[in-house]
Amino acid sequence: MAASRRVAAAMIGVVAIMATIAAVDGLGVNWGTMATHRLPPKVIARLIKDNGFKKVKIFDADATTMSGLAGTGIETMIAVPNDMLSAVGGDYGRAREWVKENVTRYMFDGGVNIRHVAVGNEPFLKAYGGAFDRHTVPALRNIQRALDEAGHGTKIKATVPVNADVYDSPASNPVPSAGRFRDDVAGLMADMVKFLNRSGAPLTVNIYPFLSLYGNDDFPIDYAFFDGGAASGDPPPKPVFDNGINYTNVFDANFDTLVSSLKKIGFGNLPIVIGEVGWPTDGDKHATVAYAQRFYSGLLKRLAARRGTPLRPRVPIDVYLFGLVDEDAKSVAPGNFERHWGIFTFDGRPKFPVDLRGGDGRSSSSSMPLAAKGVEYMKRRWCVLAPNATDDEAGRVADNVGYACAHADCTALGLGCSCGGLDARGNASYAFNVYYQAQGQAEAACDFQGLAVVTEDERDVPSQGACNFTVQVAAAGKTAAAACAAVAAAAVVGLAAVLVLV
Ligand SMILES: *[C@@H]1O[C@H](CO)[C@@H](O)[C@H](O)[C@H]1NC(C)=O
Ligand SMILES: *[C@@H]1O[C@H](CO)[C@@H](O)[C@H](O)[C@H]1NC(C)=O
Ligand SMILES: *[C@@H]1O[C@H](CO)[C@@H](O)[C@H](O)[C@H]1NC(C)=O
Ligand SMILES: *[C@@H]1O[C@H](CO)[C@@H](O)[C@H](O)[C@H]1NC(C)=O
Ligand SMILES: *[C@@H]1O[C@H](CO)[C@@H](O)[C@H](O)[C@H]1NC(C)=O
Ligand SMILES: *[C@@H]1O[C@H](CO)[C@@H](O)[C@H](O)[C@H]1NC(C)=O
């Protein structure tokens, strides 16, 4: 009896240990919410904690999202979106309001552990054609000043996440030590960097080895990873030789190009935070689960070893992985892979085994991240092409598939993608189903001029291998109501805290 009680106690201990796992020290993750159906914020916050992430970066300061983070202690980077930069940069009063509503409101015991405010998101991206150039640095100054005046400035620093295209090396000398800021933003970057240094804030940069490879068939693929080609069995990529340093991966080369660019303007020691780095799993021939696993496993081992890069040896790198879960409503302008950046699926299931601690023991490196708990789904039913819908109607089927795909996420259907192997009937069913699920399984969303039927029998659903006909998560009802209640509670407590301070 006593013995079995001891065993039971020991087992409870084991269960408790297994309920969360450790990750690389201080590891962060990006939580984007551009999805037709979002997991409840509390479910996401728990997913973040269970997997040992210490930090999270979000893309706004949405009250629902913040309600999930309240009371968790997770270090949070919130953001002023690009479309607010001109208002916040042009008017200090607006910056003060933003800080009051989106920072001060959460600064109470049990509130949100805000540590950074990202001012804009990649505002100098070439694709924006300079639209945010004038507003970004003034917005950065105004937000930091408002943080300082509200008494949060020591704890909370404003920074600007820039895309890695703000710097490069000349084509005539393509090595990291020749790095410099892009001509058209060099002056802005110098102002920004000077300000960040003075306020004690890091520069934040997003680095994507995947994008070096995407659409560039000449790029040596092994150079995108960290294993010197060992994982592919190829000979190691020819290193880029630079002042006595051999670069064997594009992450190091890219990071050190930034270090050189900073050094050139006198700020070679400014702290750098990697705001986004990751690998997508679908939507392109190089966006696969296997490559993502290879990338993350190499990256995490690197981070755990705290080796830094050749120009910043032994300086641990602060990193936010991109991203937590897939987002089926993101713009696919950059490419179909945009909706597949999650380490986890849209419903919080891990996509591949990887040791988030960055260990290299064989058994631990094959450990699965922990799935989200408490996920509620809609009813298990699907919308598929009706069995009696015939080839005669090929024109109508195609039209309806086109409609479904214009309004829902068909990126998995592309050539070489996870559902690219379906036949024409399977293809149509897939399109009908994603549309039906995105529309919350509304009855009218599974008609398609009589070509579609709802089924609850999984045998009617042509899922195959990695091509999964999904059932969406429940977005309304109990969970949403609970989230709203939590927001209201946070707001009330926040207000109370403000009143006490006043
Ligand atoms: C606070 O952030 C939210 C979400 O990003 C935004 O909609 C709102 O306008 C901000 N509040 C102020 C006063 O700027
Ligand atoms: C960066 O900031 C530190 C601390 O405020 C200051 O001592 C240093 O001179 C600054 N560096 C430059 C290059 O301005
Ligand atoms: C760099 O790599 C080349 C081979 O590509 C090798 O000959 C050289 O010794 C290496 N240098 C260093 C410093 O590792
Ligand atoms: C398929 O059969 C159903 C009834 O079983 C009917 O309502 C529907 O119109 C038929 N669709 C086609 C395309 O013939
Ligand atoms: C499947 O649907 C997609 C999206 O409409 C289309 O691009 C593709 O050609 C289709 N494939 C087949 C086999 O019908
Ligand atoms: C397919 O997705 C559903 C959730 O929509 C999940 O329950 C199921 O495990 C998935 N199947 C596979 C093979 O991933």
- What pLDDT, on the 0 to 100 scale, is given for residue 22? 80
Whole-number Cα distances in Å, 170 to 18, 26, 176, 178, 431 = 50, 35, 10, 7, 45
Q: pLDDT by residue for the chain (502 residues), tens digit each?
A: 344 444 444 444 444 444 577 888 899 999 999 999 999 999 999 999 999 999 999 999 999 999 999 999 999 999 999 999 999 999 999 999 999 999 999 999 999 999 999 999 999 999 999 999 999 999 999 999 999 999 999 999 999 999 999 999 999 999 999 999 999 999 999 999 999 999 999 999 999 999 999 978 889 999 999 987 777 777 777 899 999 999 999 999 999 999 999 999 999 999 999 999 999 999 999 999 999 999 999 999 999 999 999 999 999 999 999 999 999 999 999 999 999 999 999 999 999 999 999 886 455 556 889 999 999 999 999 999 999 998 766 689 999 999 999 999 999 999 989 999 999 999 999 999 999 999 999 999 999 999 999 999 999 999 988 999 999 999 744 443 333 333 333 333 333 332 222 2
To the nearest 10 degrees (0 to 180), the angle between helices 424-438 and 394-407 is 40
First to last CA, the chain: 60
Q: In this structure, what DSSP letter does residue 377 have?
A: B
Q: Is 16 exposed, middle or buried (0-12, 13-18, 19+ CB in 10 A)?
A: exposed
**What phi, psi does 320 have (nearest 5°)?**
-115, 115
Ligand 1 atom nearest 78 alpha carbon: 5
* Residue 428 Cα to ligand 5 middle (Å): 8
Ligand 3 atom nearest 238 alpha carbon: 5
* Residue 312 Cα to ligand 3 middle (Å): 20
- What pLDDT, on the 0 to 100 scale, is given for residue 362? 52
The pLDDT tens digits of the residues spanning 207-227 come to 999 999 997 888 999 999 998
Protein residue closest via CA to atom 6 of ligand 6: 470
To the nearest 10 degrees (0 to 180), the angle between helices 478-501 and 41-50 is 80
The count of other CB atoms within 10 Å of the CB of residue 472 is 21
- What pLDDT, on the 0 to 100 scale, is given for residue 395? 87
Tokens of 219: 């790029």
**What phi, psi does 59 have (nearest 5°)?**
-110, 10
Sort strands 180-181 and 28-30 into parallel, antiparallel or unpaired: unpaired
Distance in angstroms (rounded) separating the CA atoms of residues 113 and 437: 35
> Ligand 2: does its nearest atom lie under 6 Å from the Cβ of 197?
yes
Distance in angstroms (rounded) separating the CA atoms of residues 335 and 489: 40
Tell me if the domain spanning 20-366 has CATH number 2.60.40.290: no
Contact 38, 74 (CB under 8 A): no
Tokens of 464: 């195959």
The candidate with the shortest Cα–Cα distance to 303, out of 238, 392, 377, 226, is 226
Ligand 1 atom nearest 97 alpha carbon: 13
Ligand located closest to 263 CA:
2
Protein residue closest via CA to atom 1 of ligand 2: 197
Radius of gyration of the chain (CA): 24
- What pLDDT, on the 0 to 100 scale, is given for residue 332? 95
Domain ranges of the chain: 20-366, 382-460
> Ligand 6: does its nearest atom lie under 6 Å from the Cβ of 470?
yes
